[in-house]
Amino acid sequence: MKLPIKLIIGLGNPGQSFYYHRHSIGFRVLDALAEKYHAHWQERQNMEMTQVPLGDSNVYLVKPQTYMNNSGAVLSFFTKKGIKAEDILVVHDELEIPFGKVTLKQGGSARGHNGLKSIISVIGDNFHRLRVGIGRPENREDVPDYVLSNFPEGEPKVTEIIQKALDILS
């Protein structure tokens, strides 16, 4: 990754019962990145945090433990350290991207994603995003249940998606 990133936040909901939900793919990507670098998670206030060597510096990895709608609550710790929005990359699920596609983007709206809304409310929208495509259900009213459901049982593509994200990040 050639971006000048100091902090990567993976979005998800805390607790084992949520871990395999589409909405928690950000947690799974960060867990895979931490594992790749043999990093160990530490609990701190309202987050799990570690550091890994990416590029020329150590980068914080953070999994908010606040539930999706309040993900931005972890940011005050890092803004006090001088980390700005443009130094941050958020890994999140994206309904508007086909299942399996992973893209980078900087800035933009939350497009209904409550985790992004929370982060934008704290630091604005000028952060980087690693958007992990989870596809979209046919009916709009099915979105809440869809993002809070597991990927299909034994779906090999989930492992491939996580690997795509790792290839971009490292």
pLDDT tens column, 99-131: 999 999 999 998 889 999 999 999 999 999 999
Can you point out the beta strands (E) in 7-127? Answer: 7-10, 42-44, 47-54, 57-64, 88-94, 102-106
How would residue 163 be classed by pLDDT, with cut points 50, 70 and 90?
very high
At 156, is the pLDDT very low, low, confident or very high (cuts 50, 70, 90)?
Answer: confident
pLDDT at residue 20, as a whole number: 93
Element at 28 (helix H, strand E): helix 25-36
Phi-psi domain of 107 (left: phi exceeds 0; alpha: psi -120 through 50; beta: other): left
What domains can you pick out in the chain, each with its CATH number?
7-169 (3.40.50.1470)
pLDDT at 2 over 70: no
Please check whether residue 119 is in contact with residue 89, taking contact to mean a CB–CB distance below 8 angstroms.
no
- If you average pLDDT over every residue of the chain, what do you get? 93
What pLDDT, on a 0 to 100 scale, did the predictor assign at position 112? 86
| Strand intervals (E) in the chain | 7-10, 42-44, 47-54, 57-64, 88-94, 102-106, 128-133
Query: Which two structure tokens, joined as six digits, stand for 128?
Result: 């980087």
* Mean pLDDT within 40-53: 95
Region 88-104: mean pLDDT is 95
Residue 72 to residues 35, 38, 111, 117, 125: CA-CA distances in angstroms? Answer: 25, 27, 16, 8, 12
pLDDT of residue 153: 74
Judged against a pLDDT cut of 80, whether residue 141 lies above it is answered with yes
Q: Over 80: is that where the pLDDT of 98 sits?
A: yes
* Average pLDDT estimate for 147-155: 84
4 DSSP assignment: -
* Cα-based distances in Å from 25 to 28, 34, 45, 85, 111: 5, 14, 22, 21, 18
* Helix, strand, coil percent values for the chain (each to nearest 5): 40, 25, 35
Q: How far apart are CA 125 and CA 3, in angstroms?
A: 16
Q: What percent of the chain has pLDDT over 70?
A: 97
Considering the candidates 23, 92, 113, 128, report the single residue annotated as catalytic.
23
Task: Say yes or no to pLDDT of 57 above 80.
Answer: yes
40 is catalytic: no
